[in-house]
Amino acid sequence: MNVPFLILIGGVLHFGILLASALTPRVLDWRHELLKVDPLTRQLVWVHGAFIVLVIIAFGVLSVTLPMELGAGTWLARGICGFIALFWIARLAMQFFVFDAKAHLNNALLKCGYHALTCVFAYQAIVYSIAALR
């Protein structure tokens, strides 16, 4: 198993996740929906979203530029990969046990995209877990 290559693929997939997440505010009509909450709550949603985007960018940049180092099995590499794995395991758990997106999956493209993202989250959780535990 070529773990650095799998990490490189994971890095590219991080940027794919960002492309998909860029559509979320429009698909969920955040501009209109967030007007229903107080300004601080609205600001928190946008700020938390921005920080998550920055974290995913960091995961992608590290994975694309340093796949050999992340796959080397050093304690630092294992720690970083372990954190990335935990992030995606938690996100995958949210996908299965918290989020109920059915009402928003109203066409074939959105359904396909949702299920594709679920597969990508699983890939990230598995690959970075392998890198962290080997």
The domain spans of the chain are: 3-133
Low-confidence stretches of the chain (pLDDT < 50) are none
For residue range 101-118, what is the model confidence (pLDDT) as tens digits? 999 899 999 999 999 999
Structure tokens at 129: 């877990």
Give the predicted TM-score (pTM) of the model. Answer: 0.93
Residues ≥6 apart with Cβ < 8 Å to 98: none
Query: How many residues comprise the chain?
Result: 134
| Nearest-angstrom CA–CA distance, 128 and 88 | 9
Report the pLDDT value the prediction gives residue 79, as an integer from 0 to 100.
98
